[in-house]
Structures are given as C-alpha cells and as structure tokens.
Amino acid sequence: MSKWIEVVELNKIPVLGSRLIKTRDTDIAVFRGSDDQVYAIRDACPHKGGPLSQGIMHGSTVTCPLHNWKIDLASGNALAPDHGCSNVFAVKVEGGKVFLQLP
C-alpha cells in the first residue's frame, strides 16, 4: 500500500469548494463539504474532461463547469441520466490536515 501524503490544511479549502492538487501524473481536485467531509477526484469530467475543481459543489456532488454533468464525489460516478466515472482517490483528515493516498 502506498503511503499517505499530506497535501493541505483542511481550513485552506473553502467550504463547499475545492483546491487543485497537481501531481506528476495527474491533477486531483480535493473538495470539502459543508460537514467537513473531504473528497478527492481526478480533475477531469468523464464527459469532455472539464475541470471538476472549478465546478459548484452541493451535498457530496460536484457539477462540471463545462456542461453541467453531475458527478458523485464519493464514487466518481456521473449521476443519472448521464453515464461515466472519474477516478477517486483515498483521502483523510487528521489533525486538521488533509492526506491523500496515491496509487
């Protein structure tokens, strides 16, 4: 299992907003819900690759800024009636810090 990497302090992510994390391989959007639950998802909508980090979050869902697809942040699946899925990454909060696990 790969190790956990500290990426950002929780309070540096706006509530119902996101921060963009750039790694060598991919861009990842880390979202913070109104309940401080965090989610990490590949920053590309399964539809046309729109930057999900720039979308509007509601509940545990983000709406893609390009064509309004709605993506469930927990599973990465597009909500019906759309079909598609974007990778999600393991993420946790400890001591006010957000940790990501990269495959």
Partner 1 sequence: MHKENLVLIGNGMAGVRTLEELLKLAPDHYNITVFGEEPYGNYNRIMLSPVLASEKTIEQIMLNGEQWYIDNGITLHKGKKVEQINRARREVIATDGTVAHYDRLIIATGSVPFMLPLPGADKTGVIGFRDIKDVDTMLDTASRYQHAVVIGGGLLGLEAANGLMKQGMNVTVVHLLDTLMERQLDKPAAAMLQKSLAERGMTFLMEHSTAEILGEERVTAVRFKNGTEIPADLVVMAVGIKPNTELGKSAGLYCERGIVVSDTMQTITDPKIYAIGECVQHRGIAYGLVAPLFEQAKVAANHLAKHGIARYVGTVTSTKLKVTGIELFSAGDFTGNDQTEDIVFKDAASGTYKKIVLQDNQVKGAVLYGDTVDGSWYFQLMKDGTDVSAFRDTLLFGQHHLGDSGHNPDTRVASLPDNAEICGCNGVCKGDIVKAITEKKLFTLDEVRAHTKASASCGSCTGLVESLLAHTVGGDYSATPKTKPLCKCTDYTHDDIRHGIIQHSLKTMPAVREHFEWKTPDGCPSCRNALNYYLLCAYPTEYVDDAQSRYINERAHGNIQKDGSYSVVPRMFGGMCTSDQLRAIADVADKYQVPTMKVTGGQRIDMFGIKKEQLPAMWKDLSAAGFVSGHAYGKAMRTVKTCVGSEWCRFGTQDSTGLGVKLEELTWGSWMPHKFKLAVSGCPRNCAEATIKDIGVVCVDSGYELHIGGNGGIKVRVTDLLCKVATEEEVLEYTGAFCQFYREDAHYLERTAPWIERVGLEKVKTAILSDAANRKALYERFLISQQPAQIDPWKARADGAEAAEFTPIMIEA
Work out which of 39, 41, 86, 99 binds partner 1, going by CB under 8 A. Answer: 86
Letters for 28-67 (x = contact with partner 1 by CB under 8 A, - = none) are -----xx-----------x-xxxx--xxxxxx---x-xxx
Query: DSSP state, 53?
Result: G
Please report whether residue 90 would count as binding partner 1 according to CB under 8 A. no
Least separation in angstroms between residue 83's CB and partner 1 is 7
What are the Cα distances from residue 30, in Å, to 36, 41, 80, 81?
12, 7, 23, 25
Provide the total of helices (H) and of strands (E) in the chain, helices listed first.
Answer: 0, 9
What are the Cα distances from residue 72, in Å, to 2, 20, 69, 88?
25, 17, 10, 10
Name the residue with tokens 């999900």: 52
Work out which of 10, 16, 75, 97 binds partner 1, going by CB under 8 A. Answer: 16
Binding residues for partner 1, rule: CB under 8 A, are 5, 7-8, 12-17, 19-27, 33-34, 46, 48-51, 54-59, 63, 65-68, 81, 83-86, 100, 102
